[in-house]
Structure 1
Amino acid sequence: MEMLCEIHPLHEWRGLLSQLVKMAFSIFSIIGTLPIVIVFGLYFIITINSYLKTKNLSTIFFSLSFLATTLTYTVWGLRVFLLPQYDPHISNLLPYWTSAYLFASLSLIFLDFACIELSGIENKRIKQIIYSIILITYSILVAILFIGFEVEITTFMDVSDLSISNIFVYAYFILLLLFYLTLPNIVFINYIRTSILKTSLTYKKVRTIEMGLSLFTIGTILDGARFPSNIGILIARILIMIGGLIMLIGFTFKPRAKED
């Protein structure tokens, strides 16, 4: 009996060590989170530095979008490191989950604003209507997140996470995601299609950014769809990073000597 009592603490420490290893070194959680935080953090630094030089409105919107994306995945990374791998308590997971949704939505909203400004929509009334719709839909999202709704424990990238069990809230979130992602693509594709000056700097910027935006859109939709496969999730996040990189290249595109 005494021997069992002596062994028991050792088993406890081994169990705790095993839990810490699982929590901190879940390979898919690390690979799927850390690179995207670093990459979009660099994008933010580059764009905010550009804004300080140019004071351009589309620049600050791009910068804020990259910052919000960085914070989205930073929150997820904190959840991986600070909570047990398979935490069964919704109350522990909810703050991280809610924060990630808020930051992710802000990322898409600022991306929409940046694309609208860069595309040069001249009709102020149309711009005001678009901005109003975006802000109203986001306000509803914030209200839903803070009022609360039914969620359930699920597993995502080898750790416990939350999923929306209320079908109406889930449908609203999906529609909002599609709206926020579709809008800038429509604006840019329409600009590319109708632009007369195919050799202008703005046209080249928009065309390049749209290429990146397309990959970013596909990756975000796949990530939001919560693939059961870790490989599928990693592919989605790689698409997000590559899309962000191409958008950054387009955004920082410099004219040649004779270009406007």
Structure 2
Amino acid sequence: MVVERTATVRCVPAVPCWAGLTVRDMDAAQGFYGPLLGWEFVPGPDRWGPYVRATVDGVEVAGLSQLDAAWERPVAWTTYFGIESADRAADGVRERGGTLAVGPLAFDAGRVALAADPFGATFGIWEGEPGEDTWMTAPGAPAWIELRTADPFAAALFYGEVFRWDGRDPSEFEVRYEDERVVLRSGGHSVAALRLAHDLAPHWEVFFAVADTDATAHRATALGGRVLDGPADSPYGRVARLADPEGGRFSILTAPR
């Protein structure tokens, strides 16, 4: 179902502030994620093809874009970092051994680019209207973003230089080094981490909040998706890793009560 009510999403510099999914069948994707995560959908800019934004209680939480049939890009979730200048960040990607795949390109909410870090993890760059962190904890909204990579500290050096982590106001942005992971904090709360993982190809994983991880995982299989890992308890709550019917991978999280 498409609704007309929405809230403005703000670009938060230096941290992940948006998640986007590339799909091959827009109707099928909405038919899976809508009932699974309680999403409603609003039309978005269609300059590069069909695009909708998913909403929770009227707040935009994610974007779905349909791939052109000729594109070979896989169905996948992409994490977008906010930044004051997409062009400067794109230059930083190239200068520090990463790969710039697309852009920067102008669209209705600013400028955007797609890139990969030197270890192969893909991510997005978004230059838009700056604002405070708007990530929600309500079911259906992104609750956590995590880079899984073989060397989180080397990755942190790359992202820190591209997104200018040094020198930012510590009351608004903070980087913490904890054991084998690097944690990003924005607006006084943790929003993302870079952590050690040898069992998967480097990638940014999106965790969506749900009221009941086990029930949501069961619902995902009923809707044509797959459970890849879990459900299992973790220090952050009960988690499961899922794949949608087209293979797009993501995680769900029920925070401890």
TM-score range, shorter chain: under 0.3
TM-score (structure 1 length as normaliser) = 0.27
| Structure ranking higher in helix proportion | 1
| Structure ranking higher in strand proportion | 2
Bigger radius of gyration among the two: 1
